[in-house]
């Protein structure tokens, strides 16, 4: 056989191999959609004295969940900081300002998972340009992922004075698996 025929055979073989791997991956992967009408990401901050607390939510966020037929493999989340909503316009303005979130400088809070089990997600949270590994206790059902946890913002170099640095984060994601 000539060199040209061998190159063509190798090219055909590689094309078939790559196609087979891609089809195998598609057959063993599930597409997960999140019902954003039902799902939420919320927070609660408290005064150091414990006398007052304030809850809020993020109205705009994007999430990508990859799974195989048996388990969730990875999660990537982007929270748009300017979408913060406490229901109080002056407080929203203050929390979005340079005093807290600095939404113009840091438009996103991101999280990407490193490992996932039915009881916890370990991953990297990026908040105001600093990335730290965190552990999030979770519960996973057939169609939901949910958690209540606390994030210590002092680990990201933040000190809000009279506000407790442990911010409570709550989320519930309603999944549709295809």
pTM reported for the whole predicted model: 0.79
In a domain, 18, yes or no: no
Which strand (E) or helix (H) includes residue 145?
strand 144-152
Q: Which residues of the chain are modeled with pLDDT < 70?
A: 1-31, 69, 177-178
Q: Could you read off the pLDDT of 145-176 as tens digits, one per residue?
A: 999 999 998 888 888 777 788 899 999 999 88
CA distance 133 to 115: 11
CB contact set of 97 (below 8 Å; sequence gap of 6+) = none
Q: pLDDT value at position 27?
A: 42
- 163-167 long-range contacts, Cβ below 8 Å, gap at least 24? 163/45, 163/46, 163/47, 163/48, 164/45, 164/46, 164/47, 164/48, 164/50, 167/43, 167/44, 167/45
Cα separation values, 120 from 111, 147, 170, Å: 14, 9, 14
Query: Does residue 124 sit in helix, strand or coil?
Result: strand
In a domain, 14, yes or no: no
Query: At 2, phi and psi to the nearest 5?
Result: -80, 165
Q: pLDDT value at position 9?
A: 60
Please spell the DSSP secondary structure of 95-115, one letter per residue.
HHSTTTT-TTT--EEEEEEEE
In a domain, 19, yes or no: no
Which strand (E) or helix (H) includes residue 17?
helix 3-27
CB contact set of 94 (below 8 Å; sequence gap of 6+) = 100
Instruction: For residue 149, give the DSSP letter.
Output: E
Q: pLDDT value at position 124?
A: 95
In a domain, 157, yes or no: yes
Q: pLDDT value at position 7?
A: 58
In a domain, 10, yes or no: no
In a domain, 9, yes or no: no
Q: pLDDT value at position 23?
A: 42
In a domain, 12, yes or no: no
We report the CATH number of the domain holding residue 171 as: 2.40.128.110
Tell me how many domains the chain contains.
1
Domain residues for 173? 30-177
In a domain, 3, yes or no: no
């Amino acid at each position: 056989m000539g060199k040209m025929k061998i190159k063509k055979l190798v090219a055909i073989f590689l094309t078939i191999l790559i196609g087979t791997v891609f089809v195998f991956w598609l057959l063993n992967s599930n597409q997960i959609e999140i019902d954003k009408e039902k799902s939420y990401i919320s927070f609660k901050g408290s005064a150091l004295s414990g006398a007052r607390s304030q809850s809020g939510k993020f109205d705009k966020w994007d999430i990508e969940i990859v799974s195989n037929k048996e388990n969730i493999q990875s999660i990537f989340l982007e929270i748009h900081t300017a979408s913060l909503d406490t229901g109080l316009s002056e407080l929203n303005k203050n929390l979005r300002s340079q005093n807290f979130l600095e939404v113009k400088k840091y438009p996103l809070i991101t999280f990407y998972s490193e490992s996932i089990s039915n009881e916890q997600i370990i991953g990297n949270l990026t908040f105001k340009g600093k990335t730290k590994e965190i552990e999030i206790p979770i519960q996973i059902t057939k169609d939901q992922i949910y958690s209540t946890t606390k994030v210590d913002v002092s680990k990201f170099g933040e000190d809000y004075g009279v506000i407790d640095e442990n911010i409570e984060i709550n989320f519930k994601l309603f999944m549709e698996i295809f």
